[in-house]
Amino acid sequence: MHALEVLRTRDDRPTEDHVVFLDGVSWEDYERLLEMRGDRSAPRITYLEGTVEIMSPSRDHEGIKSYVGRLVEVYCLEHGIRFTPLGSWTLKERPKERGVEPDECYVFGTEPSDRPHLAIEIIWTSGRIDKLDVYRKLGVRELWLWRKGVLSPYVLRGERYVAVKKSKALPGIDLALLCEHLDRPTAFDAIQDFRAAIRPAIRPKR
């Protein structure tokens, strides 16, 4: 079976990412958890209205998120799009009772921003907190959810996310094509092959 088909048909019940849920957690306790964790990128801690999810990502989870991030960056470099990668930037708002740490996130352009323009979440293990519900009040313009080999973009409209066919943050990117390159044996191969695939579509500027 092809590697992409394996991703699309795999059982994503909670057996790989280590996930713990805590209920009835105050905002102060959530912030203490963040303080104890420190500046490390894992475990990733999500807070939603008194529920905390503590997730230690598996090797495969981290591999997929890194490949997706590197290919987004290749796309930006090939198209002359200025970007700042901000990894698992902790986004939180006490009045909204929400806090989250993306797998990857980006600000595009040169203007400073207090929120990423794009956040990416890898759903490698099912049964977790609904990330759309967490992000929708945090002001992140666009969220991509990867699950079973497919990247689905959502755009913020008001305080809800709407599924869209194409990214608004990176309008020209072909997310299906990007996902086709996640099965390469190394990031080097994924980057080289994806760059070769998108270059013919780039027309020289006049």
- Residue 94 clears pLDDT 60, i.e. is over it: yes
Cis before residue 14, ω within 30 degrees of 0?
no
DSSP state of 120: E
What tens digit of pLDDT does each residue of 69-81 get?
A: 999 999 999 999 9
Domains of the chain with CATH codes: 3-201 (3.90.1570.10)
- Residue 127 clears pLDDT 90, i.e. is over it: no
pLDDT in the model for residue 17? 66
Tell me the β-bridge partners of 182. Answer: none
Alpha-carbon span 121 to 101, nearest angstrom: 9
Beta-carbon count within 10 A of 206 CB: 3
The residue among 105, 198, 97 whose CA lies nearest residue 143 is: 105
Q: pLDDT-based confidence at 99, cuts 50/70/90? A: very high
Give the number of residues written for the chain. 206
- Residue 174 clears pLDDT 60, i.e. is over it: yes
pLDDT in the model for residue 2? 47
Q: pTM, whole model, 2 decimals?
A: 0.87
What is the percent of the chain with per-residue pLDDT over 90, rounded to a whole number?
Answer: 78
Beta-carbon count within 10 A of 131 CB: 21
Q: pLDDT-based confidence at 42, cuts 50/70/90? A: confident
CA distances in angstroms from 120 to 36, 86, 167, listed in the order given: 25, 11, 12
